[in-house]
Protein backbone atom coordinates (compact mmCIF):
# COMPACT_ATOMS: atom_id res chain seq x y z
CA UNK A 1 0.00 0.00 0.00
CA UNK A 2 1.52 3.33 -1.10
CA UNK A 3 -0.50 6.39 -0.12
CA UNK A 4 0.59 9.31 -2.29
CA UNK A 5 0.06 12.96 -1.37
CA UNK A 6 0.32 14.22 -4.96
CA UNK A 7 1.17 17.68 -6.27
CA UNK A 8 -0.81 20.74 -7.32
CA UNK A 9 0.58 20.36 -10.83
CA UNK A 10 -0.92 16.89 -11.19
CA UNK A 11 -4.15 17.87 -9.43
CA UNK A 12 -4.75 20.84 -11.74
CA UNK A 13 -3.88 19.27 -15.06
CA UNK A 14 -6.37 19.33 -17.93
CA UNK A 15 -7.18 15.68 -17.32
CA UNK A 16 -7.88 16.06 -13.61
CA UNK A 17 -10.04 19.14 -14.14
CA UNK A 18 -12.13 17.11 -16.58
CA UNK A 19 -12.32 14.41 -13.91
CA UNK A 20 -13.65 16.88 -11.34
CA UNK A 21 -16.33 18.02 -13.78
CA UNK A 22 -17.24 14.39 -14.46
CA UNK A 23 -17.51 13.66 -10.73
CA UNK A 24 -19.74 16.71 -10.26
CA UNK A 25 -22.07 15.63 -13.06
CA UNK A 26 -22.14 11.95 -12.09
CA UNK A 27 -22.90 12.75 -8.45
CA UNK A 28 -25.62 15.19 -9.50
CA UNK A 29 -27.21 12.50 -11.72
CA UNK A 30 -27.10 9.93 -8.94
CA UNK A 31 -28.36 12.13 -6.10
CA UNK A 32 -31.15 13.63 -8.22
CA UNK A 33 -32.48 10.15 -9.03
CA UNK A 34 -31.88 8.73 -5.54
CA UNK A 35 -33.35 11.54 -3.48
CA UNK A 36 -36.02 12.17 -6.10
CA UNK A 37 -37.25 8.60 -5.75
CA UNK A 38 -37.86 9.15 -2.03
CA UNK A 39 -39.67 12.44 -2.66
CA UNK A 40 -41.82 10.71 -5.29
CA UNK A 41 -42.65 7.88 -2.89
CA UNK A 42 -43.63 10.35 -0.17
CA UNK A 43 -45.87 12.19 -2.62
CA UNK A 44 -47.60 9.00 -3.73
CA UNK A 45 -48.34 7.79 -0.22
CA UNK A 46 -50.71 9.45 2.19
CA UNK A 47 -48.55 9.34 5.31
CA UNK A 48 -45.06 9.05 3.82
CA UNK A 49 -44.33 5.98 5.95
CA UNK A 50 -41.77 3.64 4.44
CA UNK A 51 -43.39 0.39 3.34
CA UNK A 52 -41.68 -2.77 2.03
CA UNK A 53 -42.65 -1.93 -1.55
CA UNK A 54 -41.36 1.59 -1.10
CA UNK A 55 -38.04 0.32 0.24
CA UNK A 56 -37.65 -1.91 -2.81
CA UNK A 57 -38.51 0.94 -5.18
CA UNK A 58 -36.02 3.29 -3.50
CA UNK A 59 -33.29 0.63 -3.53
CA UNK A 60 -33.88 -0.01 -7.23
CA UNK A 61 -33.77 3.72 -8.00
CA UNK A 62 -30.46 4.06 -6.14
CA UNK A 63 -29.05 1.00 -7.93
CA UNK A 64 -30.09 2.18 -11.38
CA UNK A 65 -29.02 5.76 -10.73
CA UNK A 66 -25.59 4.73 -9.46
CA UNK A 67 -25.11 2.26 -12.31
CA UNK A 68 -25.60 5.07 -14.82
CA UNK A 69 -23.57 7.61 -12.81
CA UNK A 70 -20.58 5.25 -12.54
CA UNK A 71 -20.81 4.19 -16.18
CA UNK A 72 -20.88 7.73 -17.60
CA UNK A 73 -17.96 8.86 -15.43
CA UNK A 74 -15.81 5.75 -15.57
CA UNK A 75 -13.69 6.70 -18.59
CA UNK A 76 -13.02 10.23 -17.35
CA UNK A 77 -12.82 10.21 -13.55
CA UNK A 78 -13.22 6.55 -12.68
CA UNK A 79 -16.84 7.15 -11.66
CA UNK A 80 -16.32 7.35 -7.91
CA UNK A 81 -19.50 9.37 -7.16
CA UNK A 82 -18.78 8.92 -3.45
CA UNK A 83 -16.21 10.40 -1.02
CA UNK A 84 -15.95 7.02 0.74
CA UNK A 85 -14.97 5.34 -2.53
CA UNK A 86 -12.42 8.06 -3.24
CA UNK A 87 -11.03 7.72 0.29
CA UNK A 88 -10.78 3.94 0.00
CA UNK A 89 -8.97 4.23 -3.33
CA UNK A 90 -6.61 6.84 -1.87
CA UNK A 91 -5.80 4.55 1.06
CA UNK A 92 -5.01 1.80 -1.44
CA UNK A 93 -2.78 4.09 -3.50
CA UNK A 94 -5.13 4.27 -6.51
CA UNK A 95 -5.50 8.08 -6.38
CA UNK A 96 -3.43 10.81 -4.73
CA UNK A 97 -4.72 12.42 -1.55
CA UNK A 98 -4.70 15.91 -3.05
CA UNK A 99 -6.66 14.89 -6.13
CA UNK A 100 -9.00 12.96 -3.86
CA UNK A 101 -9.78 16.12 -1.90
CA UNK A 102 -10.87 17.87 -5.10
CA UNK A 103 -12.95 14.82 -5.98
CA UNK A 104 -14.67 15.26 -2.60
CA UNK A 105 -15.42 18.90 -3.36
CA UNK A 106 -16.87 18.04 -6.77
CA UNK A 107 -18.99 15.25 -5.32
CA UNK A 108 -20.36 17.32 -2.44
CA UNK A 109 -21.16 20.29 -4.69
CA UNK A 110 -22.85 17.96 -7.19
CA UNK A 111 -25.04 16.57 -4.41
CA UNK A 112 -26.00 20.01 -3.14
CA UNK A 113 -26.90 21.25 -6.62
CA UNK A 114 -28.98 18.12 -7.26
CA UNK A 115 -30.96 18.71 -4.08
CA UNK A 116 -31.56 22.38 -4.88
CA UNK A 117 -32.78 21.33 -8.33
CA UNK A 118 -35.14 18.82 -6.70
CA UNK A 119 -36.40 21.50 -4.32
CA UNK A 120 -37.17 23.75 -7.28
CA UNK A 121 -38.63 21.18 -9.67
CA UNK A 122 -40.92 19.60 -7.06
CA UNK A 123 -42.46 22.89 -6.04
CA UNK A 124 -40.61 23.21 -2.76
CA UNK A 125 -41.29 19.74 -1.36
CA UNK A 126 -39.18 18.70 1.63
CA UNK A 127 -35.80 17.14 0.88
CA UNK A 128 -35.50 13.90 2.90
CA UNK A 129 -32.34 13.37 4.92
CA UNK A 130 -30.64 10.25 6.15
CA UNK A 131 -31.44 9.43 9.76
CA UNK A 132 -31.18 6.46 12.08
CA UNK A 133 -34.17 4.16 12.35
CA UNK A 134 -36.33 3.90 15.42
CA UNK A 135 -34.49 2.08 18.21
CA UNK A 136 -31.15 2.21 16.39
CA UNK A 137 -28.32 3.80 18.39
CA UNK A 138 -25.49 5.89 17.03
CA UNK A 139 -22.96 3.09 17.54
CA UNK A 140 -25.15 0.57 15.77
CA UNK A 141 -25.73 2.97 12.89
CA UNK A 142 -22.02 3.62 12.48
CA UNK A 143 -21.19 -0.09 12.46
CA UNK A 144 -23.93 -0.73 9.91
CA UNK A 145 -22.54 2.01 7.66
CA UNK A 146 -19.01 0.63 8.08
CA UNK A 147 -20.10 -2.84 7.00
CA UNK A 148 -22.16 -1.83 3.97
CA UNK A 149 -19.62 0.75 2.77
CA UNK A 150 -16.86 -1.81 3.12
CA UNK A 151 -18.88 -4.09 0.85
CA UNK A 152 -19.34 -1.29 -1.67
CA UNK A 153 -15.70 -0.19 -1.84
CA UNK A 154 -14.48 -3.80 -1.84
CA UNK A 155 -16.73 -4.36 -4.86
CA UNK A 156 -15.26 -1.26 -6.54
CA UNK A 157 -11.75 -2.63 -6.05
CA UNK A 158 -12.64 -6.13 -7.26
CA UNK A 159 -14.52 -5.06 -10.38
CA UNK A 160 -13.00 -1.73 -11.38
CA UNK A 161 -9.58 -1.19 -9.76
CA UNK A 162 -8.00 -4.64 -9.87
CA UNK A 163 -5.62 -4.94 -12.86
CA UNK A 164 -6.47 -8.66 -13.15
CA UNK A 165 -10.22 -8.10 -13.42
CA UNK A 166 -10.09 -8.89 -17.14
CA UNK A 167 -13.46 -8.83 -18.88
CA UNK A 168 -15.27 -8.36 -15.58
CA UNK A 169 -14.46 -4.66 -15.92
CA UNK A 170 -17.39 -4.20 -18.31
CA UNK A 171 -19.87 -5.16 -15.58
CA UNK A 172 -18.25 -3.04 -12.86
CA UNK A 173 -20.99 -0.34 -12.89
CA UNK A 174 -23.67 -3.04 -12.71
CA UNK A 175 -22.00 -4.79 -9.78
CA UNK A 176 -21.52 -1.48 -7.96
CA UNK A 177 -25.15 -0.52 -8.50
CA UNK A 178 -26.33 -3.96 -7.37
CA UNK A 179 -24.37 -3.91 -4.10
CA UNK A 180 -25.73 -0.46 -3.27
CA UNK A 181 -29.31 -1.58 -3.97
CA UNK A 182 -28.84 -4.75 -1.91
CA UNK A 183 -27.29 -2.83 0.98
CA UNK A 184 -30.17 -0.35 1.03
CA UNK A 185 -32.61 -3.25 1.29
CA UNK A 186 -30.61 -4.61 4.24
CA UNK A 187 -29.73 -1.37 6.03
CA UNK A 188 -32.39 1.13 4.96
CA UNK A 189 -34.71 0.63 7.97
CA UNK A 190 -31.77 0.76 10.38
CA UNK A 191 -29.05 3.24 9.39
CA UNK A 192 -30.70 4.59 6.25
CA UNK A 193 -28.21 2.79 4.01
CA UNK A 194 -26.16 5.80 2.95
CA UNK A 195 -22.67 4.44 2.18
CA UNK A 196 -21.99 7.86 0.67
CA UNK A 197 -21.20 11.05 2.62
CA UNK A 198 -22.01 13.24 -0.39
CA UNK A 199 -25.41 11.54 -0.81
CA UNK A 200 -26.19 12.45 2.82
CA UNK A 201 -24.55 15.89 2.83
CA UNK A 202 -26.51 17.49 -0.02
CA UNK A 203 -29.95 16.84 1.49
CA UNK A 204 -28.72 18.01 4.91
CA UNK A 205 -27.51 21.33 3.48
CA UNK A 206 -30.66 22.03 1.46
CA UNK A 207 -33.02 20.98 4.27
CA UNK A 208 -30.95 22.72 6.94
CA UNK A 209 -31.12 19.59 9.11
CA UNK A 210 -27.68 18.25 10.07
CA UNK A 211 -28.96 15.82 12.70
CA UNK A 212 -26.78 12.69 12.79
CA UNK A 213 -24.97 13.78 9.63
CA UNK A 214 -21.60 12.98 11.17
CA UNK A 215 -22.63 9.30 11.33
CA UNK A 216 -22.78 9.27 7.53
CA UNK A 217 -19.24 10.59 7.27
CA UNK A 218 -17.58 8.53 10.00
CA UNK A 219 -19.12 5.15 9.14
CA UNK A 220 -18.62 5.23 5.35
CA UNK A 221 -15.08 6.64 5.58
CA UNK A 222 -14.03 3.93 8.03
CA UNK A 223 -15.66 1.25 5.87
CA UNK A 224 -14.08 2.61 2.69
CA UNK A 225 -10.70 2.93 4.35
CA UNK A 226 -10.80 -0.66 5.60
CA UNK A 227 -11.61 -1.91 2.11
CA UNK A 228 -8.68 0.12 0.77
CA UNK A 229 -6.34 -1.36 3.35
CA UNK A 230 -7.48 -4.95 2.81
CA UNK A 231 -7.91 -5.07 -0.97
CA UNK A 232 -5.61 -2.25 -2.04
CA UNK A 233 -2.94 -2.83 0.59
CA UNK A 234 -2.97 -6.60 1.03
CA UNK A 235 -4.76 -8.46 -1.76
CA UNK A 236 -3.53 -6.44 -4.74
CA UNK A 237 0.19 -6.54 -3.88
CA UNK A 238 0.20 -10.25 -3.01
CA UNK A 239 -1.94 -11.15 -6.00
CA UNK A 240 0.07 -9.26 -8.58
CA UNK A 241 3.63 -9.96 -7.56
CA UNK A 242 5.47 -11.75 -10.38
CA UNK A 243 5.95 -15.44 -9.74
CA UNK A 244 9.47 -16.50 -8.86
CA UNK A 245 10.23 -19.85 -10.52
CA UNK A 246 13.84 -19.99 -9.36
CA UNK A 247 14.57 -22.62 -6.74
pLDDT digits (tens, 9 = 90+) for 158-191: 999 888 776 666 799 999 999 999 999 999 999 9
> For residues 128 and 109, what is the distance between their CA atoms, to the nearest angstrom?
17
DSSP 57-106: HHHHHHHHHHHHHHHHHTTTT----SHHHHHHHHHTTSS-HHHHHHHHHH
**Ordered structural domains, the chain, with CATH:** 8-234 (1.20.1080.10)
Q: How many other β-carbons are positioned within 10 Å of the β-carbon of residue 220?
A: 31
183 touches 148 (CB < 8 A):
yes
pLDDT of the residue at 52: 85
Rounded to an integer, the average pLDDT of 105-114 is 98
Question: Has residue 243 got a pLDDT over 50?
Answer: no
| Cα–Cα nearest to 160, from 143, 146, 145, 179 | 179
pTM: 0.93
pLDDT of the residue at 168: 63
> For residues 26 and 85, what is the distance between their CA atoms, to the nearest angstrom?
14
Rounded to an integer, the average pLDDT of 69-86 is 96
Question: Has residue 237 got a pLDDT over 50?
Answer: yes
DSSP 94-149: SS-HHHHHHHHHHHHHHHHHHHHHHHHHTTS-------PPTT--HHHHHHHHHHHH
Backbone angles phi and psi of 161, in degrees to 5: -105, -15
pLDDT of the residue at 104: 98
**Mean pLDDT for all residues in the chain:** 92
pLDDT of the residue at 247: 29
> For residues 29 and 194, what is the distance between their CA atoms, to the nearest angstrom?
16
Q: Is 81 left (phi over 0), alpha (psi -120 to 50) or beta?
A: left
pLDDT of the residue at 242: 38
Amino acid sequence: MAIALGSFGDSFSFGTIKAYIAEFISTLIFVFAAVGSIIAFDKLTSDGALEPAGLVAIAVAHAFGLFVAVAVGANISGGHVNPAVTFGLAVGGQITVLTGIFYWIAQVVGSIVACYLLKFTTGGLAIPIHSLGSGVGVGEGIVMEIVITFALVYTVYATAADPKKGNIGIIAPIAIGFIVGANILAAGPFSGGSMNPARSFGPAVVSGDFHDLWVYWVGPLIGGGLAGIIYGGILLPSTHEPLNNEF
